[in-house]
Structure 1
C-alpha cells in the first residue's frame, strides 16, 4: 500500500478515518449546516422548531426532479425555480398557518408543523410520483466526478462545497449589512421594540421563513443524489434530526455555530458509517449529542414568559342548576354504557380483518391517552410515545413467551416503558417546550434504527403470545379485539382519574405558571418524573395491545413516524378531553384501515388534521362538547328551567371581594410558638449577608435581615432597588452569590421553593397571574396540596377522599373571603384586584409561618386598601403569621408594619420604625423625595415628612 493509500484508508479501532472519509463527512455536514441555519432562522422569528423544515426541502427537490427529469427543463433553470417554490411555500406557511396561531402556546405551532410535514411530503409525491430517489435524481451538470481513495465524489459533493459556504457568507452579509436583514434580526430579538421603529414584525417573520425554506430546498437538492435509494420520508424526521443537532448546539440562536457544529456532525456520521458494527448507531449518537447539548444549556427552550394561550383541561362544567334534572344526570352513564355495548357487540358483527383494524384503533388510542396526559394536561410535546409502546410490546412478548404468564408480560412491558420514559425525560426536567420534543424525537429515531433491532427486544422478529380467557385462547382477531377494548377501558379509567385529581391539577398549574405552582408547594421535579413515567406506562400498555395482536412482531410494527400519528390523532380528537384520542384514532387510524384512500386521500386526511389544529383549538371533541351542551339545554328546558337565565352569570368583573368583610375567626389554629414575639424572641427568618450580581449589575449587595415571630416588616425603595430580587432569593427562585438564609433554625440556602413553602416560608407575586385556565376553586385546591398532598397511586385509582378534603377546605376559605360568586370562574376572567384576593386566599390555605408579600395592593382600588390592611392584620392575629411586605403605598405599609427597612441600589440604607425610616436622609433623597404620590395614595392620616435643613448629612 502506498503512502497516499495509507492516508486515505487510515484504520483506528475499526473506524476508517482516512482523508476521503473526512472529506465526505465535511460535504454532508455542509448540507446539514444549511438545514441548521434554516432552523435557527425560523426559531428566532417564531420561537418554535419548524418540524416541516425537511419536508419543505423535499418538496423543492421534487419540483426540481419534475422539471428536469419529466419536463426536460435545463438544470440551472429548474434549480432557482425549485428553490423559489420552496421559499414561497415556507413564506406562505408563515402567513397562512403560523400567524393564525398567534397568542397560542409555541407547542401548538410545533404540532401544526408536524401536520404540515406529512401533508407536504404527500404533496411532493403527487407533484413527482418518482419521489426523490437517489438513483434517478439529477445532479448539477458541468461539474467533474472523481474518486477519492475508494469513495466516488460526484458533482453534488462539489456543489455542496461551493454553494454552502457561499450561502452562509451571503446570508451573514444580508443579515448584518442590509436594511432588510437588520430588520429581520430586530424583529426576531424584540417584536415590540421593532414595531416602535416602524418594522413590521409579521412581515419580517415571513421573510425569515421564506429564506429558511429556500435553504432547505438547496440542502435537499444537493444531498439527494449522494444517497442511493433515498426515499422521500428520509428527508423528514431523520434529516431534520441531523440539522437539529447543530441548531441545538448553537442554542437555536447562532447561525455560524450551527453551521460549523453541523459539519462536525457530518464527519461524526461518516466515521460511524465506516464501521459495520456502528452504522445503526448514527441516530443514537446524534441523540446523545443533542441531550448533552441540552443539559449544558439550562436556559434553552424555557418558556418563562409564555403563560397565556392554553386551553382549559376537561369538558366544560355543567351549571349547578342542571344537576337537579334527572335526565341530565343520567345522560353520561347512558352514553358510557351504550358506547361500551356497541364496542363489545362489534366483536360479533364484524370480520376478523375489520376486528384487526379496530384493535389497532384501540392500541393507538391508548398511546394517544399518554399524549393527552403529557401534552394536553402538562403542556409538553413528546415525539417518542410510540417508541415507548414498541419497547413495552417487546418486553411483554418476551416475558409472556418465556414465563407462560400473560399478565406478567403486560406488567413487565408497562413497567419497563415507564422507566425508559422517565429516563428519557430527565433532560427536560428543568426545560420547557423544545427540550422534551427534541430529545424524544432523537429517542424515537434511535429506537427504530437500533434499540428495537437488538435481540433482547425484537431482533429479526418474534411471535408474541395471545391472552387466554378462562382457558380459551384469543387467537382470532375478533376475540383479541375484546381484550383490546378491555385495555382501552382500563387506560381511559386511569387517565380520567389522573386528569381530575390533585395530580392532574398540579400538572396544569405547572403548565400555566410554574413559579406560582412551586410557591404553592407543587413539587416540580417529582411531578414531572411521575408524569413521564405514567405517560410511558400508558404508551407501553398501548404497545402491548398492538404487539400481541400481530402474528409476527418486528421493528416495522413501531415506526418513528407513528409517534407523529398519535400526536395527530390526539389533537384531532381534542387535547383537552380524555376521550379525544379515541375520536382521533377512529379517523386517523380507522378510516385508512377500512377504506383505501390512495395518495390523494392521504393528502386530504393530513390537510384535515392540520385545519383542525388551526381552526378548532378544542378539536372535534370540542364540537361534541358543544352538542352535549345543547342537549342539556333542551333537557333543562323540558324540565322547566330557562337555559339562558341559568347560563347567564352575574357580572363579577367589576366587584371585588374586599368589599365584603372577611370572617377568619376560628378558621385556623395558630402556632402559639410563633405568636411569642418580643425583644428576646428567636428570629424566625434570618437573611445573612446575601448578595446577587447579574453580569455587571449588582441587584442585592450584602443584605442582612431578621424577622421575628408574628412580626410585620415593611420593605420600601425605588424601582430597581433590588426588593423583588431579594424576595426571589429568600423564596428560593434565585440562588445567591454569597450569604445564607435560615428559617426556623434550618439552613434553607439551597432548598427549593417547594421545600421552603412546605416548611411555611411562602411568597406572593407582583402580577398575581396564578393559573389562567383553572377556576378559583381549583386554584385554592392546588394550594391545599401542602396540607393534603396528592399521591399518584391514589389518584390513578380514583379514590375521592383526598380531593374531598381539599375541596371542603377550599369552599370554606372561598366563602370566608367573599369569593363565592367567583368560585366557578377561571382566573383569566377575573380583574386584577379579584385575582389578588384569590392569591391571598391561596396563601391562607398554605397556612404560612412567614409570608413574603410583593406589592399586595397592586391592582386593588384605592378605596379598598384599608380593607386589605384589615385583612392582613386579621391573618397575623388568627395564624400568628410573620410578614415581609414590599409596598409602594406608604400609608398602608406604615399602618401594617412593626418595623420598616429601605433599600437602594441593592443595599439596605435604613431600618427602624416607619417614622424613622421615612425621615432618613437617604430614603428621602432616593425614594420619597421623587414619589409624593406614594405618600398620599391611601390618605393623609400620616404625618408629613419634615424636610431636613440644608447641609444635613
Structure 2
C-alpha cells in the first residue's frame, strides 16, 4: 500500500513498531533522568551502547542469557556513576553546564565501547539471543532479536511499573523527583533516589541497545550518538518529560513515522520532521508564570577593560600567529586555518551561551550554511569579499529564523531544538543543490586581484577574520549590549521588569552569533579544494560547545585555547582511539573541576607566577584601606543615607483625572485544576499605598504576575491609566510606569551594584547594537552618570563595585528599590519587601515607602505579611484567600473582618492580638 509515494505496507509498519519499541525505552530512560535531575542526559544512548559492548565481550566466554543481565547491571552502574561523579558535582553550576558535560560523556563512552568491543558497532557480527524463533512478515525478516524485543519489552514495562508504584524505592524515586525537599524532610534521601533513577535508566538503555544492535548495519559514533538520542527525545518531549506511558506511546509513533518517511526520503528528512515535531510540541506546551530553569548562578563575567599586560599579551599572541605563517608548512597552515574557523564558531557559542545563557547546539549548522552561501556567491560574482559578507548574512539570517520560534524556549528545550536543527542541517538542508549538494569545487580565493593559492597565505587571511570576530565578541561582551544579555541570562524576569526588551535582545544575540558562526564557516569553506557535507557534521556542533566550555565561557580567549586542544592537537598529532578517549576524558575533567575553564585557570595562574618570578608580593592593606563589608553599614538600617529627593527620577506630575490609576476587573487564572486567582476585582487611585494580605497560597503573587504581565490571565481585564494593558508585555508596562519587584530581590548576582542600576537606566539611553560594536560610549556614559547619582541618593555609592550576589538580604532590597525608582514608576508593585529583614529594618523600610510616595509621588501596591508594617503605611488593605478578594477597606476594618480573621489570622481573638497593633 502506497500513499503519495510513501509505503504504508504491513511489513514496513511492523518494522516501525519494533523500532518504536526501542525508541520508547530510550524515551522512558530520558524521562526518568529528567524528572530526577531536571536536565537531559545526552549520554543516555551512549550508556546503552556501552552495555551492548559489555555483552558482546562477555558473550564470547559465557552463555548469552547470563551475560545479558550482567551487561544491564554494568550499564546501570555506569549511569549511577555518572550521576554521582559528574552530575552531582555540577549541581550548583548552571544547568546547561551539566548538559554539556553529558554531551562530552556521550563521546567518551562511545569511544570506550569501541575499545571494549568493536562488535557493538556492527549488527552483522553482534551476538543474537539464542533459543528464540525467527520468522518473516511479508518481505520483512524478524530475527531472534526482534522476537526478544517483542516478548521482553512488555515484561520490562510491567516490572518497571510495579517497581515505581509498589516498591518503597520506586515510590521514593517518584517522591524525590516531584518534591525533593519535602521528600528529604520525610526521610527519603533525594540524592540516593536520583542515583537510583539514573541506574534504572541506564539499565533500560542497555536493554534497548542490546536487542537493537543485531538489527542494524555498521554504525558510527554519530549515528549512535545524537541521531539515536533525537529519536528518544522526540517521544520524551511530546510527553513533556513527565509521563512515562505517553513517552513510550509517542516513541512507538515516532518509530512508525520514521519507517514510513524512509520509504521515500533519506534519514536527513526524518531529522527535519522530528525536529519540527519537537519544536511544535514544545511551543504548544503552555508556559506558566516566571521561568526559573537556572539551577545555579553563572560565574561572574569579566567586564573590565584589558590591562596593559593583557593588551601586551594579545599583541604578542597576534604577532606569534602571524609569524607562524612564515615558518610552518602548507599542511600545518591548513590545520591552523581549521583552528581559526573552529575558534570563530566557538566565539559564537561564547556570545550565545556564555553571555546570553542560551544553550545552542546548532552553531556549526549555521557555519555550514554560511560556508555554502559564501562559496556559491563567490563563484557567481567572482568576488570573495561579497561571498564573505553573504556567508555572514546567511549565518545571521538562519540563526534568527531558528531563534524566532525559540524565543519561548530556553535551557533544556532550546538545547533539544537546536540539536534537532544541527542534525537536520547536516542530514538534509546542506545536501540541497543550492547549498552543498553532492559537493562543491572551491576555486582559489581571490582578494583584490591576488589569488590566494598557497595555504600559508590563506592562513593569514583566516587570521585576519579571526581577529575581526574576536574584536566583535570582546566589544559586545564588554559593552552595554553584553550587560543586557548578562541580565537576561541571570534573571530574565527582573531584566524585563526593568524595561529590557528580551525578545529583541535575544534575536540580536542570535543574529550576531549566527554571523560569527557563518564567518567561521567562510574560513573553513574557502580553505577547501572540495567542500562537502563531511566538512560540517552534526557532531561538530557539540565539539564547538566543548571548545567554548573547556576554554572558558566567560573569556573570549578561551575559544582559541579550547580549539587548539580539542581540534588542533588531534589534527597535528593523530591520537587513535585510545588517545581520543584520553583527550575527551581530559576536557571532561576541565568541565567538572574548573568552573571558569582553562582560560580562567591560566588567567589566575599567570599573574601569580609572574609575582613569584619577580619576587613582588602584594602590598598588605592598612586598616584604613580595607573596603567596608556589607555588615559595616547596612542601608536598610541607616535611613540617614537616603536622599530620595535627589534621585535622578523626577517627581511625577499630577495624575490624570479620568479615573483610577489601576482598575482590575474579574481577573482569573488556573493552573491545571488549581484556581490561583478567581474574579479578582479592585481599584487603586493615584497617590495611594494599598496593601494586599492573605495566607500562603492565597494567589497574591500570581495576581502580581498578571498585573505585571509575566503571566497571562484566563479572563478579566487590567486597566492602567485608563488603557487596557491586559495583553501588554512586562517591559511595555514597565516603560509606561507600572513597575514591580520580586520576592527574592535576586536581581543580577554576577554583576556589580552599579551595573544593576545601569540596566535599570537602559530605558533612558538604550544600547544601539551597531554603535556598541564600533565602541560608541555615549549611551554608556549617560547610564553611568545616572546610576552614580541614584546610588548616591540611596546611600549605596560605597557598594557600587561590589557584586550583588555578595550583599546581605536587606542591602539587596535597597539595591532593587534603587533600580525600580530609577524607572520613574507611577505605580510600584512591591512583593513582600520586608521578607528576610529584622524588625528594626522593617520599620526603616516603612519609612522609606512613605518617603517614596511623599517625595516622588509614586503610588504603591504592596504584598506583605507584616501586618503592623502595612497598618502603618497603607491607606487601604485588600485581603485575599483561595484566589478571591474577601475584604477591602481601611486597615483596621480589614484586620477585624470575620473572613480575614478566619482565613488569615485564625479563629480566636488571640490570633488578632498576635498580629500587633498599628504602629504610630
Provide the TM-score with structure 1 as the length reference: 0.91
Q: Specify the alignment match of 1:308 in structure 2.
A: 296
TM-fit CA distance, 1:925: 5.0
The one of 27, 31, 35 equivalent to 1:40 is 31
Q: Does 1:17 align with 2:17?
A: no
Aligned equivalent of 2:263: 274
Measured against aligned partners, the alpha-carbon deviations of 1:475-495 in whole angstroms (never above 9, x if no partner) come to: 211111111111111111111
Distance 1:704 1:585 in 2: 59
Equivalences, count: 917
Partner of 1:367: 345
Alpha-carbon shift at residue 427 of structure 1 (Å): 3.7
Deviations 1:169-227 (A, max 9, x none): 21111111222211222222222222223222222222211121121112112111212
Please tell me whether residue 428 in structure 1 is matched to residue 428 in structure 2: no
Offset at residue 134 of structure 1 (A): 1.8
* Range 742-751 or range 302-311, more displaced: 302-311
How far apart, CA to CA, are the structure 2 residues paired with 1:621 and 1:429?
30
Query: What's the offset of the Cα at 1:934?
Result: 9.3
> Match for residue 484 of structure 1?
462
CA distance in 2, matches of 1:851, 1:635: 56
Q: How does 1:567-716 map to 2 (within 5 A)?
A: 567-630=545-608, 641-642=619-620, 649-653=627-631, 655-658=633-636, 659=638, 660-668=640-648, 670=650, 673-674=653-654, 682-716=659-693
Per-residue CA shift, 1:249-281, capped at 9, x if unaligned?
Answer: 111111111111111111111111222x45541
Call closer, same or farther: CA 1:452–1:701 in 2, change over 3 Å. closer
8 Å contact from structure 1 (residues 681, 708) kept in 2: no
Name the CA distance, whole Å, in 2 between partners of 1:216 and 1:301.
34
Matched, 1:786 2:763: yes
Q: Which residue of 2 aligns with 1:529?
A: 507
**Could you tell me whether the CA contact under 8 Å between 1:388 and 1:539 is conserved in 2?**
yes
Q: C-alpha offsets along residues 833-865 of structure 1, whole Å, 9 cap, x if unaligned?
A: 001000000011111111111222223332234
Measure the CA separation in 1 of the matches of 2:693 and 2:105.
53
Partner SS, residue 286 of structure 2: coil
**Pairing 1:166–2:146 present:** no
1:410 paired residue among 370, 375, 388:
388
CA distance in 2, matches of 1:600, 1:804: 54
Q: Which moved more, 1:720-729 or 1:751-760?
A: 720-729
Q: Does 2:270 match 1:290?
A: no
Deviation per CA, 1:694-739, whole angstroms, max 9, x where unpaired? 4454433333333333332233334443332322221112222332
- Residue 850 of structure 1 aligns with which residue? 827
Counterpart for residue 233 of structure 2:
244
- Equivalent residue for 2:713, pick from 728, 736, 748: 736
- Cα distance in 1 for residues equivalent to 2:38 and 2:54: 29
Give 1:907 shift: 3.7
Distance 1:303 1:891 in 2: 33
Gaps of 5+ in 2: none
Instruction: Say if 1:151 and 1:644 are closer, same or farther in 2 by CA, change over 3 A.
Output: farther
Quote the offset at 1:812 in angstroms: 1.4
Query: What is the aligned partner in structure 1 of residue 44 from structure 2?
Result: 53
The answer to whether structure 1 residue 451 and structure 2 residue 439 are counterparts is no
On the 8 A contact 1:692/1:701 being kept in 2, the answer is yes
> Cα deviations across residues 660-704 of structure 1 (Å, max 9, x unaligned)?
42113343464553357xxx6732222223233444544333333
SS at match of 2:125: coil
Question: After alignment, is 96-105 or 391-400 more displaced?
Answer: 96-105
Deviations 1:570-622 (A, max 9, x none): 11100111211111001111111111212111111000011011111111011
Q: Which residue does the alignment assign to 2:189? A: 200
> 2:331 aligned to 353, 361, 368, which one?
353
What's the CA shift for 1:888?
3.2
* Alpha-carbon distance in structure 1 between the residues aligned to 2:696 and 2:74: 52
Give the stretch that moved more between structures: 292-301 or 202-211. 292-301
- Between 120-129 and 599-608, report the one with greater CA deviation: 120-129
**Aligned equivalents of 2:887 and 2:133: distance in 1?**
79
- Map 1:130-169; keep pairs closer than 5 Å: 130-169=119-158
In 2, distance between residues paired with 1:885 and 1:520? 18
**How many angstroms apart in 1 are the aligned matches of 2:803 and 2:817?**
16
Aligned to 1:324: none
CA distance in 2, matches of 1:734, 1:336: 47
| Structure 1 residue runs of 4 or more that deviate by more than 6 Å after TM superposition | 631-637, 643-647, 929-940
Partners of 1:398 and 1:464 within 8 A in 2: no
Match of 2:242 among 253, 257, 262: 253
Q: CA deviation at 1:241?
A: 0.9
1:636–1:643 CA contact under 8 A, matched in 2: no
Which residue of 1 is the match for residue 77 of structure 2? 88
Matched, 1:67 2:55: no
Q: CA deviation at 1:824?
A: 1.7
1:65-88 per-position Cα deviation (integer Å, ceiling 9, x unaligned): 2233xx443322322222222122
Q: Which whole-Å CA distance do the structure 2 matches of 1:845 and 1:655 have between them?
A: 22
- Give yes or no for contact 1:674–1:849 (8 Å, CA) kept in 2: no
Q: Which residue of 2 aligns with 1:766?
A: 743
Shift of 1:785: 1.5
Assess, with a 3 A threshold, how the Cα gap between structure 1 residues 302 and 850 changes in structure 2: closer, same or farther: closer
Please state how far the C-alpha of 1:401 moved relative to its aligned partner. 0.7
Contact 1:380/1:436 (CA < 8 Å) preserved in 2?
yes
Is 1:229 the equivalent of 2:218? yes
Contact 2:473 2:556 (C-alpha < 8 Å) held by counterparts: yes
User: What is the aligned counterpart of 2:873 among 871, 875, 896?
Assistant: 896
Secondary structure in structure 1 of the residue aligned to 2:641: coil
Q: Take 1:516 and 1:302, find their aligned partners in 2: how far apart are those partners?
A: 10
Residues 470 and 650 of structure 1, relative CA distance in 2, 3 Å threshold: same
User: Which residue is equivalent to 1:945?
Assistant: none
Q: Contact (CA 8 Å) 1:302, 1:433: kept in 2 or not?
A: no
Report SS of the residue matched to 1:691: strand
Moved more, 883-892 or 259-268: 883-892
Deviates more, 1:617-626 or 1:858-867: 858-867
Q: Could you tell me how far apart the structure 1 residues matched to 2:290 and 2:677 are?
A: 25
Q: Distance in 2 between matches of 1:152 and 1:936?
A: 79
CA distance in 2, matches of 1:735, 1:269: 37
Question: Counterpart of 1:739 in 2: which secondary structure?
Answer: strand
Tell me which moved more, 576-585 or 423-432.
Answer: 423-432
Counterparts in 2 of 1:298 and 1:719: CA distance versus 1, 3 Å = closer
Secondary structure at the aligned position of 1:489 is classed as helix
Deviation at 1:292, TM superposition (A): 1.7
Preserved contact between residue 641 and residue 795 of structure 2 (Cα < 8 Å): yes
CA separation of 1:915/1:198 partners in 2, compared to 1, >3 Å: closer, same or farther? Answer: closer
Equivalents in 1 of 2:909, 2:329: separation in Å?
A: 81
User: Which region of structure 1 is more displaced relative to structure 2, 650-659 or 612-621?
Assistant: 650-659
Q: CA deviation at 1:501?
A: 2.3
TM-score, normalising length from structure 2?
0.95
Q: Secondary structure at 1:788's aligned position in 2?
A: coil
1-structure distance, mates of 2:313, 2:476: 21
Question: What is the rounded CA distance, in whole Å, between the counterparts of 1:381 and 1:785 in structure 2?
Answer: 25
1:807 corresponding residue in structure 2: 784
Could you say what secondary structure the match of 2:654 adopts? helix
1 CA distance for matches of 2:172 and 2:103?
Answer: 29
Contact 2:364–2:517 (Cα < 8 Å) also in 1: yes
- Worse overlay, 830-839 or 697-706: 697-706
293-302 or 720-729, larger mean C-alpha shift: 293-302
For residues 303 and 725 of structure 1, what CA distance do their matches in structure 2 show?
A: 13
Residue aligning to 1:398: 376
Secondary structure at the aligned position of 2:441 is classed as coil
Structure 1 residue 656 displacement after superposition: 1.0
Change (3 A) 1:57 1:710: same
Q: Per-residue displacement from partner, 1:39-89 (whole Å, max 9, x unpaired)? A: 111111111111111111111222222233xx4433223222222221221
